[in-house]
Amino acid sequence: MQKIPYYPLDRINAVYSDAFTTAFSSVLQSGWFIRGKENLAFEQNFASFCGAKHCVGVGNGLEALSLILKAYIALGVLKKNDKVIVPATTFVATWLAVRAAGLEPLPAEVSESDSLLTREGVLSVWNSEVKAVIAVHLYGKLAPMESLEQLAKEKGFLLIEDAAQAHGAIRNGRKAGSFGNAAAFSFYPTKNLGALGDAGAVVTSDSELAECVKKIANYGSSKKYIHELEGENSRLDEVQAAILSKKLTRLECDNKRRIEIANTYLQKIKNPLIRLPKYEFLGEHVFHIFAIHSPYREALQKHLERLGIETLIHYPIPPHHQGAFRNLIQAPFPISEKLSQETLSIPLHPQLEDSEISQIIEAVNSFSLT
């Protein structure tokens, strides 16, 4: 029996070994390690890839999101304690970023079919204190951005994309990062476009916002020793920028392979005890995670483990049940709570072999309660 790890980073990055060596040597020989030519090149290329005017490389995805909010406060668009609607189902970083900026997260329930924030979800908690909405492209699928864009125009709120899991996701010719006022990306090593450490970026077509984000992320400074704003240190280093540039050239090819694998899962996994993710348009989804659902998750996970297949749970405790927010959020979110109890992620990455895919499908299909 072949053991299949969930996401073997050594194997996934092995295809880039020569490119990484070249990239690291180039940076080392340059003698420049922060905000140099590699950073500039990646920012320009990734902005172009997303269909936006600007990209600002920062320390990680959480900081990318919080920097967007902090910049809007510095620009007078937001003010402290404004409310920001967030999905009740998401990685906790979405909520933490709002609090880090001195704003108040206002959770809204998500769709049970795809775990995404919807127009109806936003309207269900809407009030006049809401000044922004963060739409999370969870697991690699775009939130319903067209309807959220229209609602943003009607209500006058900022629409921000948490695109940490959706590098290259596309709908009607538009990619993640080109829909809202700004987008936050994470390049954590396991992402579709992953660095070899923590890294992130802010993508936007708002020139004033991009300049403000860049300034805040550099100690509030655009000129050495001149600090116009209260800033922080959140910068994409040259090594990670060079690595990301190499990987960006393969991203669309890797995403295509992810979609092929996901399509195979969707066609061939057939088990009445398991609910598959619902995706009408495969081309818009880049499958950072392939999450299946079962009320018998614990038994299913143990069954797959016995058959050599490693799985993960995303996310077992929803943000409103986390201790960090126990004094902030009281309302129940039954769909999000159900999802947290039933979701199980099975292996999906570009280097999965066909034999491994078949083994995973056979194992999932063989699960029963007898």
b/e burial code for range 46-81 (CB count within 10 A of at least 16 → b): bbebbbbebbbbbbbbbbbbbbbbbbbbbeebbeee
What is the per-residue pLDDT for 9? Answer: 97
Domain end point (choices 248, 276, 294) = 248
What pLDDT is attached to residue 151? 98
Q: Are 232 and 256 part of one and the same domain? A: no
pLDDT band at 329 (very low <50, low <70, confident <90, very high): confident
Q: Scanning the structure block, which residue is given the tokens 């769909």? A: 335
> Which residue range(s) make up the domain with 345?
251-365
Model pLDDT for residues 268-311, shown as the tens digit of each residue: 999 999 999 887 766 689 999 999 999 999 999 999 999 999 99
Note the pLDDT tens digit of each residue in 10-67: 999 999 999 999 999 999 999 999 999 999 999 999 999 999 999 999 999 999 999 9
Q: Which of 248, 276, 291 is the last residue of a domain?
A: 248
pLDDT for res 299: 98
The 10s digit of each residue's pLDDT in 73-102 is: 999 999 999 999 999 999 999 999 999 999
Are 108 and 42 within one domain? yes
Weakest mean pLDDT among 94-103, 230-239, 321-330, 333-342: 321-330
* Whether residue 54 sits in one domain with residue 113: yes
For residue 1, is it within any domain? Answer: no
Assess contact for 32 and 216: CB atoms under 8 A. no
Residue-level pLDDT at 214: 98
Compute the average pLDDT of residues 260-265.
96
103, pLDDT greater than 70: yes
Q: Give mean pLDDT, residues 102-125.
A: 97
Mean pLDDT of 314-343: 92
119: pLDDT strictly greater than 90 = yes
Any idea what the CATH number is for the domain that residue 330 is in? Answer: 3.90.1150.10
Please indicate, yes or no, whether residues 201 and 288 belong to a single structural domain of this protein. no
Whether residue 177 is found in the same domain as residue 299: no
The CATH number assigned to the domain holding 62 equals 3.40.640.10
263 and 239 part of one domain: no
Round the average pLDDT of the chain to a whole number and report it.
Answer: 96
Taking the alpha carbons at both ends of the chain, their separation in whole angstroms is: 22
3 in any annotated domain = no
Asked whether residue 236 falls in the same domain as residue 257, the answer is no
The packing angle between helices 37-50 and 17-30, to 10°, is: 130
Q: Are residues 337 and 110 in contact, defined by beta-carbon separation less than 8 angstroms?
A: no
Domain boundary among 224, 248, 272: 248
**282/356 same-domain check:** yes
Residues in Cβ contact with 127 at an 8 Å cutoff, skipping those fewer than 6 apart: 83
Q: Is residue 278 part of a domain?
A: yes
**Of the candidates 74, 338, 102, the residue with the CA atom closest to the CA atom of residue 231:** 74
- Structural domain count of the chain: 2
Q: Assess whether 255 and 244 both reside in one domain.
A: no
Residues 268 and 233 in one domain: no
pLDDT score at 282: 63
Whether 31 and 112 share a structural domain: yes
State whether 169 and 188 are in the same domain. yes
Confidence check: pLDDT of 127 > 70? yes
